[in-house]
Amino acid sequence: MTQKNRIVLQSFYIFNSTLCLKEGEEEKKILFYHPFSADIDTKIRSIGLVEAVIKFTETFNSKEPCNSVHTQKTRQVYLQVEPNFWMVMIVNVPNVSKTKDGTEYNEYQGDEIQDNVYISVLKQMYALFRLLSGTFQSLLDSSGVECLRQCLELFFPKHLLTLKFEHFDVLNIFNGMQYLPLNSITFLNVLCFVNQIQNHFPSIKSTAFMYNDSLIWTGIEPSNFQPIYQYMVTILLPAHVEIELKGGSMPRHSGFFSPSQPLHYCRYVIGPQSLTENSTVGKIPKVYVHSSATNQLEEYYLIVYRGFSSSVILFLDIKTDLTMELFTKLDTYMEPNLTKLGSDIAEYCSSQQIPSLITSVGDSGPRYVFFNNMNLAYKSTIHLDNRQSGNINISHEALKLIADIKSESITNSIFGETVVKTLNDYWVVGKFSNKREFYVAIQHKNANLIEISEEVKKLCDGELKGIFFQT
């Protein structure tokens, strides 16, 4: 009998070696350490070992610092997120308890943890922190090291609890966004709506529009909007939808309007909780969005308004005077428009019967992941949801193989193809064309390479016609 343990976080820390000016002050370089309960000697030794590894490996390749260390029982992943600032994640290597000749032993499975996946997770963690608080260096320069430590201690303990280490996979590498395709009329209505908002309210510098977890429009470049999208779908919307469901599919939010007024199905997710009972707008968060034009972070107030499964994300000038009058005017303008738009989008989505070559869940039909590096769009029939809950449609081995193909692919190559056959009769194909990537997993015992190529071509034509260009 075998029993396999899960991948769990052993430690996570952030340090800056330049904060330690002389021997005996090693504690000063520690900015954040999880678990907090670890004694100071353990923290100093752990960071000292990482510093030694990084320094030693620089003698072999100074341009590409060490990013991981493999041991039998742990996997250590390093990432320099800013000059002199390092984030380190250490997870246990899963093992299977086995018995042979009456003796029990552990068999460690290091190939279960893929470096490129966990490095991507560190990048996402940093991007989310930077979105909500700014860069480490800017906090250090403006407020001092103690303020930086406080910000890290406020953010990371809660965020670490949300991570599902055993379910990380190739989606973390892509870190893409789901787009919702609409017909031309509905999409133009959305575009007209967001443009009119900005025209009516000059303090709004940019706008984005989402329907459930899918993006329809953003005025911010996709690469810069990516952390905001992840914040919406992983943190903000799940908590709000849970509240909505407790009150029914279309609840009337009590306290938002008086009982004598008509039903009001739209409200601020980030903004005033009530426009009638409160005299203050409450705490409105600031976000720091990278600008490709200036190559710097630009600071905005973030407002999110939601109704009928639609979310309007507003980025307000940081100099804006946030008054109740402003939020009331925004609500008065957006509510009737969002009510109609949300209903139109829902009606369009329910009326669509998109033909698909993908058969029912649980069968052995082809599954695929598509990713477009140009707009960071992804589409997956391998994952049954985008919550990374382990709800996948193919074998774990095939899913890891896709991440391996992604890692081995030549990023500068315009065209290419990789085909791999596994021992359990899975064919995994990776195709690269015009900065688009297409990965297919097919379980077919007696197929040959020609048959698999034809099936992949048929899948491209049927599912991604006009999106993925084959050679």
Domain range for 125 is 3-168
pLDDT tens across 396-417, in order?
889 999 999 988 775 545 678 8
How many helices (H) does the chain have, and how many strands (E)?
Answer: 11, 19
d(CA 312, CA 215): 10
The CA dihedral of 291, 296, 300, 302, to the nearest 10 degrees, is: 60
d(CA 406, CA 170): 8
Is residue 56 domain-resident? yes
The region of weakest confidence among 10-19, 113-122, 319-328, 428-437 is 428-437
Residue at which a domain ends, from 168, 192, 214: 168
Same domain, 150 and 232: no
CATH number of the domain residue 75 falls in: 3.30.450.70
Same domain, 250 and 101: no
Same domain, 373 and 245: no
Same domain, 316 and 393: no
d(CA 1, CA 459): 41
CA distances from 387 to 149, 173, 238 (A): 30, 15, 10
Same domain, 32 and 144: yes
CATH number of the domain residue 308 falls in: 3.30.450.30
Among 427, 201, 211, 416, smallest CA distance to 325 is for 201
- Higher confidence at residue 313 or residue 277? 313
Same domain, 220 and 338: yes
Is residue 24 domain-resident? yes
Confidence of residue 198 (pLDDT cuts 50, 70, 90): very high
Q: What per-residue confidence (pLDDT) applies to 415?
A: 78
- Higher confidence at residue 362 or residue 221? 221
pLDDT tens across 83-121, in order?
999 999 999 999 888 888 788 888 888 888 999 999 999
Sequence-ordered list of residues with C-beta below 8 angstroms from that of 328, at least 6 positions apart, any chain: 275
Number of structural domains the chain divides into: 3
Percent over 90 (pLDDT), the chain = 59
Same domain, 150 and 189: no
Average pLDDT over residues 437-444: 90
Is residue 470 domain-resident? no
Same domain, 28 and 143: yes
- Secondary element (H or E) of residue 117: helix 115-133
Among 424, 433, 429, 432, smallest CA distance to 453 is for 429
Give me the chain's average pLDDT, please.
Answer: 87
pLDDT tens across 1-27, in order?
455 678 899 999 999 999 988 888 899
Among 110, 119, 129, smallest CA distance to 66 is for 119
Is residue 471 domain-resident? no
Q: What per-residue confidence (pLDDT) applies to 255?
A: 41
Same domain, 424 and 450: yes
- Secondary element (H or E) of residue 95: strand 95-100
User: Does pLDDT of 62 surpass 80?
Assistant: no
Same domain, 10 and 133: yes
CB of 197 closer than 8 Å to CB of 207: yes
Is residue 437 domain-resident? yes
Confidence of residue 228 (pLDDT cuts 50, 70, 90): very high
Model confidence, pTM: 0.89
Question: What is the residue whose two structure tokens read 């315009």?
Answer: 414
- Token readout for 406 is 């992604």
Residue at which a domain ends, from 351, 382, 417: 351
Is residue 396 domain-resident? yes
Beta bridge partner(s), residue 13: 33, 88
Same domain, 380 and 336: no
Q: What per-residue confidence (pLDDT) applies to 248?
A: 44
Secondary structure of residue 142 in the 3-state scheme: helix
Is residue 92 domain-resident? yes
What are the CB-based long-range contacts (under 8 Å, 24+) for 328-337? 328/275, 329/201, 330/201, 330/303, 330/305, 331/266, 331/268, 331/275, 331/305, 333/197, 333/200, 333/201, 334/197, 334/266, 334/305, 335/264, 335/266, 335/307, 337/193, 337/196
Secondary structure of residue 276 in the 3-state scheme: coil
Same domain, 346 and 396: no
Is residue 362 domain-resident? no
Residue at which a domain ends, from 108, 133, 168: 168
